[in-house]
Amino acid sequence: TAHQLQLIINELLQNEEKVPYSFYIGDDEVTGSLRQAVGDASTEQAIRIVYVPQAVFRVRAVTRCTATLAGHAEAILSASFSADGRALATGSGDHMVRLWDVFTETPKTTLRAHSDWVLCVAWSPCARFIASGGKDGKVAIWEVSKPAAPHRIISAHRKWVNGLAWEPFHVNPDCVKLASASKDGTVRLWDRANGRCLGTLSSHSHSVSCVKWGGEGLIYSCSHD
């Protein structure tokens, strides 16, 4: 069989680690027994069998957790890394957003603006701002260097906010525009600086579960419809 041929070829090649091979007679792969692959060939006939090594993908299991960050009083519903990977923002059912230092694995600050679950958080590509969306229908925007109070709180939707997406950095390094997706079936665009709604996208008939801002000026949304 092919398995037995693999044992033979690994032994002949003296492979320290067993390598999987495929075997071919002509253009046909040997998948069953060698007798079936050979067919009616004479016992005096020389048959050429070609072996081809297969790609090996070694997946190592995660054996331990590198860190556990305790701080929220309820379930964590969303998380977002800063663009430089140095900080992490988490949103929770305790109505709060917490910022964490990734390297020291310690909490940096707590952001309070929502009156219900924080369902989504999104760090701006410039790493200066954090947006959070809640079950209260609000979008809160925070300036990371001034965490004492929100930069702006927007009553964004009639129902809860499921997703947030910033305009890409290469389009606007100042990260002025933000998109929010909601259970009310709409996606809305916002101006971070003044909180003004720049437009409403209302093609969905049910809850919009996520939104992504593409690199070529397109906004992608997914819905329960």
pLDDT of residue 57: 63
Low-confidence ranges of the chain (pLDDT < 50): none
- The reported pTM is 0.67
pLDDT of residue 61: 65
pLDDT digits (tens, 9 = 90+) for 106-150: 888 899 989 999 999 999 999 899 999 999 999 999 988 888 888
pLDDT at 55: 67
- Distance, in Å, from the CA atom of 165 to the CA atom of 122, rounded to the nearest integer, reads 7
Q: Helix or strand or coil: residue 218? A: coil
Residue-wise burial string across 19-50, b where 16 or more C-beta atoms lie within 10 A, e elsewhere? eebebebeeeebeeeeeebeeeeeeeeeeeee
- Quickly tell me which residue has 């690994």 as its tokens: 10
The pLDDT assigned to 190 comes to: 93
**What residues have CB less than 8 Å from 177, skipping those under 6 apart?**
166, 167, 189, 190, 191, 192, 198
Provide the pLDDT for residue 67: 75
In this prediction, residue 2 carries a pLDDT of 80
C-alpha–C-alpha distance, residues 225 and 223, integer Å = 5
